[in-house]
Amino acid sequence: MDYVSALVPPVVMAVFFTGLIVTIVKTQGGANKAKEDAAVDAVLANAEHTRQAPRDTDA
């Protein structure tokens, strides 16, 4: 019975990891890709705008 308790955690982790990989592969591209690209573009544009804003340095 000890071998069962020793094998259960790795098997559970392997099943979870396989499910995670399948989910990642399925969500690549398609309709989600346009939304993800738009979100990344918005974050990058915001960061670029913030970086280029002039600073008031009255020290």
Confidence grade of residue 58 (pLDDT, cut at 50, 70, 90): low
Instruction: Please tell me the predicted confidence (pLDDT) of residue 20.
Output: 96
* Segments forming the whole domain that contains residue 6: 2-52
Torsion sign, CA atoms 15, 21, 25, 27: positive
In a domain, residue 58? The reply is no
* Residue 50: exposure state from Cβ atoms within 10 A (0-12, 13-18, ≥19): exposed
In a domain, residue 12? The reply is yes
Instruction: Please tell me the predicted confidence (pLDDT) of residue 28.
Output: 79
Confidence grade of residue 13 (pLDDT, cut at 50, 70, 90): very high
Average pLDDT for residues 41-47, to the nearest whole number?
Answer: 91
The answer to whether residue 52 scores a pLDDT higher than 90 is no
Torsion sign, CA atoms 31, 34, 38, 41: positive
In a domain, residue 57? The reply is no
Round the average pLDDT of the chain to a whole number and report it: 85
- For the chain, the domain total comes to 1
Q: How far apart are CA 9 and CA 16, in angstroms?
A: 11
In a domain, residue 59? The reply is no
Instruction: Please tell me the predicted confidence (pLDDT) of residue 53.
Output: 60
In a domain, residue 36? The reply is yes
